Amino acid sequence: MYLEIVSPEATLFTGEVDAVAVPGINGEFEMLKDHAPTVSLLKAGNVKISGSITLDENVAAKFIKKDNGFWLPIHSGTLEMKDNKIIVLAD
């Protein structure tokens, strides 16, 4: 599945991932391939990305290496998942 994370300053990540967990306003949830279409507001927490990913060196300092992936701390945001593409607008 394809993930794109965009902040007001820059595009932080684009690429294929295995799973994404996000801090939804009603609790954390995880999305895998073929997840139902979803739109959610996000609260402060970490966007957790699993898979074999490579970060751009210009934004890598914003991410935390954790277990089999990376965590991106956010203050708030919005997420849309549709047709195996996730777009996160993070603040």
DSSP string, the chain: -EEEEE-SS-EEEEEE-SEEEEEETTEEEEE-TTPPPEEEEE-SEEEEEESS----TTTGGGSEEETTEEEEEES-EEEEEETTEEEEEE-
Tell me what pLDDT residue 64 has: 96
Read off the pLDDT band of 36 (50, 70, 90): very high
Domain locations in the chain? 2-90
43-85 pLDDT, tens digit per residue, is: 999 999 999 899 999 999 999 998 889 999 999 999 999 999 9
Flag whether the pTM goes above 0.85.
yes
Superfamily of 2-90 according to CATH: F0F1 ATP synthase delta/epsilon subunit, N-terminal (2.60.15.10)
Tell me what pLDDT residue 91 has: 93
